[in-house]
Structure 1
Amino acid sequence: MAIPDFRTTDATAVRASVALLDGPLDLTRPTPCSGWTLADLLAHMTVQHLGFAAAARGEAWPLERWAPRPLGADPAADYAAAADEVIAAFAAVDLETPIALAELAPAPLPAWRGIGAHAIDYVVHGWDVATTLGLAWELPEEVLRQALPIAESVPGTTTAFAAALPAPADASTMDRILLRLGRAPR
């Protein structure tokens, strides 16, 4: 069985999420993530990029470092820098290398699985940011088709996502992803 390579899917979603932040940001706006403002979401997304990048480089990133930190003076620039860091780290890692992701699993995972987890998070968190800002969230269908099986592999209830919602037969690929991970597309 060929090992799936989610790096392009991940990089596409991450870069698209960075592009959403080009403009004035009201960090107090509520997001589709229950109880989170845009500031909370950006802080979470930034630390996730840094943690996954460290893991891909083989660096220790203990559980306490996964906690979001207060945003700096230019949250969009900080987020973009963290995004570049994780994309570069994923590009350099061998897909079979075990990486330690303390927030996701008690034992190291093959890098390809970690990259897949990161990719689905940014397909969905990009949608969260776009929805918060009233912007369109459009990813290439090939990216969504690669992300859908990752979403479908997530248990129906997890601590990372809300409970899965039923998908109508005519749901788009993006809507299927969102519904599987507890987001109401409309």
Structure 2
Amino acid sequence: MQNIRELHRRAVEAIRPVLTRVRPADLDRPTPCAGWDLRTLLAHMTGQDRGFAAAALADVSAEAFAPADPETWAAGAAVVVAAFAAADPARSVLLPEFGDRRFPLDTVIGFHLLDTLVHGWDVAATLGTPTDYDDELLTAVRQQAERVPGGAARTAPGAAFAPALPTAADGWAGTLALLGRDPNWH
């Protein structure tokens, strides 16, 4: 598999065509993220981009990950790609959202790659448009999805992912089901 930083950069580029389709009239639409409209999802994505970027370079508090103006998503995406490229590969990254645990930089980049592609699909599903993820990205995101803990972590308030859905699907549909997303959501 290619370098995780390069895969992450490609993931960000893969969702860009979907995000550029968002119009102000779309922002109140419901999304596959339970209880979130598109405005809330984009604010979350932008805040996560900025938070992961900051955390890759220095220890930060949970406030660094706060939702941000959804209109600044492109700048946030550029910032996180640049931060991951500039970060020390040996850095142990503090993630306040994970109970102030530290993770190797490559693991953190994998977390964000997963978040990027899944939320890119969430936006695409909201707009009724397809995603275009290449096979290497699909393999990388599947590997990340298989590492997401199950059990009570999936049912707790504010859980990042719902319990896995039963499915016999392979490919992207199977990855979405592993993360509690209905691949047929619309």
TM-score, normalised relative to structure 2: 0.87
* Match of residue 178, structure 1, among 173, 176, 179: 176
User: 1:156·1:180 contact (CA, 8 Å) conserved in 2?
Assistant: no
User: 2:52·2:65 contact (CA, 8 Å) conserved in 1?
Assistant: no
Name the residue aligned to 1:6.
Answer: 4
CA RMSD of aligned residues (A): 1.8
After TM superposition, where is structure 1 displaced by more than 6 Å over at least 4 residues in a row?
Answer: none
Q: Deviations over 1:163-182 (max 9, x none)?
A: 011221xx232112101100
Name the residue aligned to 1:167.
Answer: 167
Name the residue aligned to 2:39.
Answer: 39
Name the residue aligned to 2:49.
Answer: 49
**C-alpha distance in structure 2 between counterparts of 1:64 and 1:53, whole Å:** 13
- Between the two proteins, the alignment pairs up a number of residues equal to 176
**C-alpha distance in structure 2 between counterparts of 1:65 and 1:21, whole Å:** 22
Instruction: Select the structure that is richer in helix.
Output: 2
**C-alpha distance in structure 2 between counterparts of 1:19 and 1:32, whole Å:** 19
Q: Deviations over 1:107-145 (max 9, x none)?
A: 221101100100111111010000011111110011111
* Match of residue 99, structure 1, among 86, 93, 118: 93
TM-score, normalised relative to structure 1: 0.87
**C-alpha distance in structure 2 between counterparts of 1:8 and 1:52, whole Å:** 16
* Match of residue 124, structure 2, among 122, 130, 146: 130
User: 1:18·1:83 contact (CA, 8 Å) conserved in 2?
Assistant: no
Name the residue aligned to 1:17.
Answer: 15
Q: Deviations over 1:15-61 (max 9, x none)?
A: 22222122424110100000000000000000000000001112x42
